[in-house]
Structure 1
Amino acid sequence: MKLKEIMKQIDYTIIKGNDDLEIREIQYDSREVKKGDLFVCIEGYNTDGHKYIDSAVKNGASVVICGKDIENLPECTVIKVEDSRKVLALASANYYNRPADKLKVIGITGTNGKTTSTFMMKSILETAGYKVGLVGTIANYIGDKKIPSHRTTPESLELQKLFKEMVDAGVEYCVMEVSSHSLYLHRAYGVKFSQAIFTNLTRDHLDFHKTFENYYDAKLMLFKNTLNSIVNIDDEYGEKVYSDALGSKISYSIDKTSDLKGSDLHMHSRGVDFNITYDNQTEHINLNIPGKYNVMNALGSAGACLKEGISLKVVKQGLENMLCVPGRCEIVTKDYNLGYEVIVDYAHTPDGLENILKTAREFTKGRLISVFGCGGDRDNTKRPIMGKIGTELSDLAVITSDNPRTEDPMSIINEIITGVEKDNYTMVENRREAIKKAMEMAKKDDIIVVAGKGHEDYQVLKDKTIHFDEREIIAEIVKEL
């Protein structure tokens, strides 16, 4: 494709060369550049693409797009833009023939609930007869085809390529998790959303956003670029989002008065029954995932689909068709007659840990045992908060390592226990041994919640990443015990 076509409707200044060039591919990683490629310099969290211009040109880049002044111009066409991240998103869309314009894109953001909600929406839309794509934390999907996911929301170049593959495969709807990082870094810039859902906002990612106000402002960007907003007004920040959002909007809740209402909740160990009311119609839902917070996820998902013209009866069928989401309140001991259950859950924030433990408490006949830690190189202010929550809401707690990354695991654990006020905990640094310890302590009718990693099948240590799938580990421990 010609460079001028890739740069269509983008403001740019040619510093050197011309825009009448044939471009092979777009790259933002200099190591991926080949002869005839366009290299876009973007600033990342840890590095800056402008540092790798020489490397990109050496590898064959015929064009460099930069957002900063360059002292020594390379031997290729050089283009200056105001914001290279936004330009990467728009140029990638042009390169792939604007695929998002051919899809109905539904975005969901919030601290917790994004993954479960995308799976719920996928199920509802497929029940309604649509072919659906999904972009998210666990994996990306094109219909039934599963594609590995490396981050919640891909970089804009990969995202536009994924949209193109969806269009080519006949996908009509794309439901996607939209993280605060991706909004701030403009990964979904230029994508017009049909619906946008707000789940909740609690403490997370302050290592990146620095302040809670910045975190909120990043989330709000989605609701200024959508035709319709679906907002949880039971959440304190949801009311603010509802006020600040542009375009049409509907509210959902359990506790407050709203457009879309959940009521008459009945919890049990394998799910929750509730009524859903919208536009003077009510349906009874038998959801196969337990927890009040999953009723909230179901309401938000239902709201987006209802606004797309899907009937409440089909919404009911779609929600009831979904059996589970990997690593989200997932009971992994169903096939064993242990007398107790082990649940794995991705909860890695104070709010997430509180939700899963309160949910598990509702169907625990014996004792509730928790296994949890906190990740390294992330917001450390939440560690004592999670220590307090984990021990307050559990009968017994095993505090352990999560993904320590470059930090010392015991230092993280020691920060966690600064918030602990009870003496019902033990510390076991090795996560596998911590899970084994909990299972050794378990008695009939107990529930063990292993929180923090959920669907992840790895653990990030200081010098390496190891295979670590908690389902496999629990199965191994069952044999050992």
Structure 2
Amino acid sequence: MKLTALLEDLEYTCCQGDENAEVTDVVYDSRKVQKGSLFLCIRGAVVDGHTFVPDVVKKGAGVLVVEEKVEAPEHVTVILVKDTRYAMACISAAYFGHPARRLKTIGVTGTKGKTTTTYMVKSILENAGYRVGLIGTIEAIVGDKVIPAVNTTPESYVIQKYFKEMADAGCDCVVMEVSSQALMLHRTAGFEFDFGIFTNIEPDHIGPNEHRDFQHYLECKSMLLRQCKVGIVNRDDKHFEQIIKGHTCALETFGFSEKADLRAEDAKLVSGKGWLGIDYQVRGMMNFQVEIDIPGKFSIYNSLTAIAICRHFKVSEKDIVNALRVAKVKGRIEMIKVSDEFTLMIDYAHNAMALESLLTTLREYHPHRLVCLFGCGGNRSKLRRYEMGETSGRLADLTIITSDNPRYEKPQAIIDDIKVGISKTDGKYIEIADRKEAIAYAIHHGEPGDIIILAGKGHEDYQEIEGKKYPMDERVLIADILAGR
């Protein structure tokens, strides 16, 4: 492929070499460079790609895309750009033939609700006959292929590669989670989303190598509304005016507010043997009743967001209702039927904010007891342990403290830190370090009307100990416990 074709959407300076050079492939990992490669010098938090120039030139790289002047042999073409991450997005889109133009693209950002919303959208659209690709926190789904995720939003090159595979596999559209990091690092540059969705925003991801403060976090997330044709925003969010500031898209809103274009009204909690849900009326741009087998007010927001998106795909009300009734997301308030007497669920809540939201929601169902089983990850902030301990101690009737991913720490040391937080409350607790034994205790001691939550692991199917990942899926553990294994 000609270099000029790859650079068509970029402002650049050719410092040396031939702009008409033939490029065999596009690479940002120095280990993958071959003869004729275009190598992007990406400046990361730990490693600077510019330092690999001598190495990649020896391997045969024919083109270097850089942010600063570098020394290279005369036969190597050097392209200087303002930002190599932005350049990577544009070059990758061109390299794969601009596959986003062959798909309807849906990007979902927000502090909470991204994962659940994307799966609800996928469920509704597939129920209506569309072929849908997905990119998110849990996995990427490309045609019949499922790829476990490393980041919520992959690097721009990977996104474009997935888009091409989806389009080639006959997908009509793709729904993807868009993290604030992805927007900040231009992973979703190089194309324009057909629909950009903003679910909500709360302080999160603030610290070293993330966002310097909440304002920066909000500004990065709001970039999506300048990278899409239609923006769909939560009207109830207290930061709404800041979120939409400077938007360049057509704007629609959803929420409970009377000002919202698509509204939820008359919400009611519903429950049955071993399950919890919610029922509400859709008003405004559409009018019908919805019932979902996922509890809580945030389930209304997630489903209403999905409806606001799928409305643009001419999906019938019947298809929406049927799809939402069966929509499930692995590890996100995922109910596992173990008894008609009590409800058990798995959720990814792994910080105090998420745990507080979850336990407060479940309290609204007036359980006989609210039982919370969780641990905390090793080699991570001790503050998270104190906060989660205090939150569970305050909101749960019984806390079962166990192990999560201890990594290089001793499980008991992590448990002791969690107990520091619980000690600030009057909450009852027990400690069982082995997670399977802890889950068995929760199931065997479940009382009629209990809601039992297994928090922290969610979709994860492993436990990380001393640098190794061992298979551990809570669904498998539950099945083994019920079978007496």
Give the TM-score of the pair, scaled to structure 2.
0.89
**Does structure 1 conserve the Cα–Cα contact (< 8 Å) formed by 2:119 and 2:327?**
no
- The 3 A distance-change label for structure 1 pair 414 and 136 is same
Aligned to 1:213: 215
2:375 aligned to 370, 373, 376, which one? 373
Do residues 191 (structure 1) and 191 (structure 2) align? Answer: yes
Do residues 234 (structure 1) and 236 (structure 2) align? Answer: yes
Runs of 5+ in structure 1 lacking a partner? none
Name the CA distance, whole Å, in 2 between partners of 1:374 and 1:390.
Answer: 12
Do residues 264 (structure 1) and 266 (structure 2) align? Answer: yes
- The 3 A distance-change label for structure 1 pair 342 and 288 is closer
Secondary structure, counterpart of 2:239 in structure 1: helix
After superposition, give the CA deviation of every residue in 1:416-459 in whole Å (9 maximum; x if it has no partner): 44443234233444444443443454334322211112111123
Do residues 277 (structure 1) and 279 (structure 2) align? Answer: no
Do residues 424 (structure 1) and 415 (structure 2) align? Answer: no
**Does structure 1 conserve the Cα–Cα contact (< 8 Å) formed by 2:37 and 2:63?**
yes
Do residues 172 (structure 1) and 172 (structure 2) align? Answer: yes
Name the CA distance, whole Å, in 2 between partners of 1:201 and 1:455.
Answer: 23
Secondary structure, counterpart of 1:294 in structure 2: helix
Structure 1 residue 96 displacement after superposition: 0.7
Aligned to 2:469: 465
Name the CA distance, whole Å, in 2 between partners of 1:379 and 1:236.
Answer: 29
**Does structure 1 conserve the Cα–Cα contact (< 8 Å) formed by 2:17 and 2:74?**
no
**Does structure 1 conserve the Cα–Cα contact (< 8 Å) formed by 2:279 and 2:290?**
yes
- The 3 A distance-change label for structure 1 pair 76 and 466 is farther
Runs of 5+ in structure 2 lacking a partner? none
Name the CA distance, whole Å, in 2 between partners of 1:404 and 1:327.
Answer: 19
Give the TM-score of the pair, scaled to structure 1.
0.90
Aligned to 1:393: 395
Residue type matched to 2:356 in 1? E
Residue type matched to 1:390 in 2? S
Structure 1 residue 39 displacement after superposition: 1.3
For 1:272-311, list aligned pairs within 5 A: 272-279=278-285, 281-311=286-316
* Identical residues among aligned pairs (%): 42
- The 3 A distance-change label for structure 1 pair 255 and 4 is closer
Name the CA distance, whole Å, in 1 between partners of 2:421 and 2:258.
Answer: 32
Name the CA distance, whole Å, in 2 between partners of 1:188 and 1:212.
Answer: 21
- The 3 A distance-change label for structure 1 pair 161 and 254 is same
**Does structure 2 conserve the Cα–Cα contact (< 8 Å) formed by 1:204 and 1:349?**
no
Name the CA distance, whole Å, in 1 between partners of 2:435 and 2:339.
Answer: 24
Residue type matched to 1:287 in 2? I
Structure 1 residue 94 displacement after superposition: 0.4
- The 3 A distance-change label for structure 1 pair 246 and 459 is farther
Aligned to 2:321: 316
Aligned to 1:133: 133
- The 3 A distance-change label for structure 1 pair 59 and 428 is farther
**Does structure 2 conserve the Cα–Cα contact (< 8 Å) formed by 1:15 and 1:80?**
yes
Structure 1 residue 312 displacement after superposition: 4.3
How many pairs are equivalent? 477
Residue type matched to 2:4 in 1? K
What do you get for the CA RMSD once the two structures are aligned? 2.7
Greater mean deviation of Cα atoms: 83-92 or 423-432: 423-432
Secondary structure, counterpart of 1:398 in structure 2: strand
Name the CA distance, whole Å, in 2 between partners of 1:244 and 1:28.
Answer: 32
Name the CA distance, whole Å, in 2 between partners of 1:377 and 1:180.
Answer: 24
Structure 1 residue 291 displacement after superposition: 2.0
- The 3 A distance-change label for structure 1 pair 241 and 376 is farther
Name the CA distance, whole Å, in 2 between partners of 1:407 and 1:11.
Answer: 49
Residue type matched to 2:277 in 1? G
Structure 1 residue 381 displacement after superposition: 5.0
